[in-house]
Structure 1
Amino acid sequence: MNTITGQGECTANFLFYNATDEFIGQAAHCAGTGAPTETSGCTSATMPLGTPVKIGGASKPGTLVYSSWITMVKDHEQDANTCSFNDLALVKIDPADRGKVNPSVPFFGGPTGISTTAINVGDRILTYGNSPLRAGLSPLSPKIGFSLGDEGGGWSHTCYTVTPGVPGDSGSAVLTGDGKALGVLTSLALAPVAGSNGVGDMSRELSYLNSHGGLGPVALALGTEAFHSPAP
């Protein structure tokens, strides 16, 4: 499923909920209005909360109700790693479309929970991207790869997949080898391996949201379809 915020088209990731509403996750930078080189959420320009967001398959637009970028600016966040890698936004689903949404990650199923432990170099990861650059060729959307290690004090995981994430895959759900939500695909890198991707850590991003977001307790919705990891 894709989301379109202004001129930015991204792949949605996970489904979230609080006591009253359901939300689709996307990368916060998908609503950015600055240059592609503006990657610090504490200094980059972005569209405001309340911005309508087109959701693929929905009859009505959703509404941008949380952005880590907006929240960090408002709260004068000073931690460099948080500013660089906290890249999560939530789009409130219109009540008319709530019954159309399934929390399962396409192809793989899950998530089965949230990854809260360190991921080791070489550990398996899985992700599903829906970039328009693939011209609707769904066999290219599921991607399997491995971790290249963490950075930013655990705020980000560098991963390599076949095929790599490309523009339009930003925001994609990334799973660990046992189906837990590892994070959100946020960047395309040239190092340590050309074509590798940065993945914002879901446990930290959701914790930040719940501490600063003003939406009440927000939780990750678990997949209703059983997780499966294809044979290596």
Structure 2
Amino acid sequence: MAIRTTLRRSASLAAGTALLGALMLAAPGTAVAAPVWAPAAQATIHPGIQTETDGSGQCTANFVFSDSSGNVYIGQAAHCSGTGAATDTNGCDAGTLPLGTKVTLVGSGVTGEIAYSSWNTMQGRGETNADACAYNDLALVKIPAAAVSKTNPSVPFWGGPTALDTNGTTTLETVLSYGNSSLRGGITQLSPKQGKSLGTEGNGWSHSVYTVTPGIPGDSGSAFLDSTGKALGTLSTLAIAPIAGSNGVGDLSHELAYAQQYGGIAGLKLELGTVTFRGPLLPI
């Protein structure tokens, strides 16, 4: 049996570590203009920023999303608003904060709120799919309309995403990520990670991966890209056994499809990066 733990950096761990304009909503039946992004180099809200969830802990944002009403969201792991122990990884019965919980988007001066959580949704529906319960770990933080002008959907260092990955991964396929745990003390050179997938599990819901340095508490929710820059998934867990040091990455195509079907957000979609994907740095 796999033993996993979430990678939320809890408030107690943090305490012990010394380390434009408004987006207008269109009237019913009218087209909604696409978001106007800040230049990537100037954006303070983007994949890879730290998030601080009230009453929970610090995580890392993954991708940017939008809906048909013109609202914009940034993703984090659903367990970032969990209220239980780090080993509570089953989203169908783990304690979780309610929708509307405030989330600080660190470094931007902006506070958003949780508009969707796979954990809350699965519990509300009485979800019985064991794979979804174990691996569906996505939350969406609504960005205030006035702060969309501070936002860019590009993944730092790597660029992209170029599209949504819908094919999963094969064994030893190259994967790329960007973690931003506060435990690194702001050393951004340690944030980009490259590694290999050990393949898909959970009937497509998850991927076990090894990276040059594994994800650590505070990296939870980090975006993962495949070798072509497609949005693969979101960092969810650190495996303790049977393969110690590997990370569990929730499959974004499954997570997003679930949110689209059950999350109550019309027209929800992934936003693509404005920065050209640079590709893997190490031999693949």
Mark yes or no: TM-score above 0.5. Answer: yes
In the alignment, the residues of structure 2 paired with residue 86 and residue 221 of structure 1 have an alpha-carbon distance, to the nearest angstrom, of 20
Q: Which residue of 2 aligns with 1:67?
A: 117
**For residue 189 of structure 1, what is the amino acid of its counterpart?**
A
2:63 alignment partner, one of 2, 8, 14: 14
Question: 2:91 corresponds to which residue?
Answer: 41
Which structure 1 residue ranges, 5 or more long, are not aligned? none
The residue number in structure 2 matching 1:204 is 254
Structure with max Cα Rg: 2
Mapping of 1:140-159 within 5 angstroms? Answer: 140-159=190-209
Deviant stretches of 4+, over 4 Å: none
* Contact 1:11-1:26 within 8 A present in 2 as well: yes
SS at match of 2:85: coil
CA contact (8 A) 1:181 1:202 kept: yes
How far residue 56 of structure 1 moved from its aligned partner, in angstroms, is 1.7
Candidates 51, 54, 57, aligned match of 1:3: 51
2:184 — aligned with what? 134
SS in 2 for 1:13: coil
Aligned-pair identity (%): 55
Q: Contact (CA 8 Å) 1:59, 1:96: kept in 2 or not?
A: no
SS in 1 for 2:88: coil
CA offset digits 1:8-47 (Å, max 9, x no partner): 1000000000022000000000000111121110001111
Q: 1:195 aligns with which of 245, 251, 256?
A: 245
The offset of 1:72, in angstroms, is: 0.3
Q: Distance in 1 between matches of 2:92 and 2:138?
A: 13
CA–CA distance in structure 1, aligned partners of residues 243 and 92 of structure 2: 27
* Contact 2:168–2:251 (CA under 8 A) maintained in structure 1: no
Aligned residue identity for 2:65:
F
1:104 is aligned to 2:150: no
Determine the C-alpha separation between the residues in 2 that align with 1:193 and 1:227: 31
Q: Given the alignment of the two structures, is residue 165 of structure 1 paired with residue 215 of structure 2, yes or no?
A: yes
1:57 & 1:98 partners in 2: Cα distance? 15
Per the alignment, do residues 181 and 74 of structure 1 end up closer, same or farther by CA in structure 2, a change over 3 Å counting? same
8 A Cα contact 2:168 2:232, kept in partner: no
1:192: how far off? 4.6
Mapping of 1:22-41 within 5 angstroms?
22-41=72-91
Deviation at residue 95 of structure 1 after TM alignment: 1.5
1:40-96 deviations in whole A, cap 9, x for unaligned? 100011110011110023333101100000000111100100000000000000122
Q: Distance in 2 between matches of 1:191 and 1:115?
A: 27
Separation of aligned partners in 2, 1:111 and 1:191: 31
- Separation of aligned partners in 2, 1:57 and 1:95: 17
**1:149 Cα deviation (Å)?**
1.5
* 5+ residue gaps, structure 2: 1-48
The match for 2:37 is: none
**Quick one: which amino acid aligns to residue 53 of structure 2?**
T
Secondary structure of 2:137's aligned partner:
coil
- Partner-residue secondary structure (3-state), 1:111: coil
Q: TM-score, with normalisation over the residues of structure 1?
A: 0.98
**Contact residue 59 and residue 97 of structure 1 kept, 8 A:** no
Give 1:176-195 correspondences, 5 Å limit: 176-195=226-245
Whole-Å separation in 2 of the counterparts to 1:51 and 1:184: 21
1:131-152 deviations in Å (ceiling 9; x for gaps): 0111100000000000012211
Counterpart residue number, 2:145: 95
Equivalent residue, structure 1, for 2:27: none
How many corresponding residue pairs?
232
TM-score by length of 2: 0.80
Give 1:142's aligned amino acid.
Answer: P
CA distance in 1, matches of 2:87, 2:228: 34
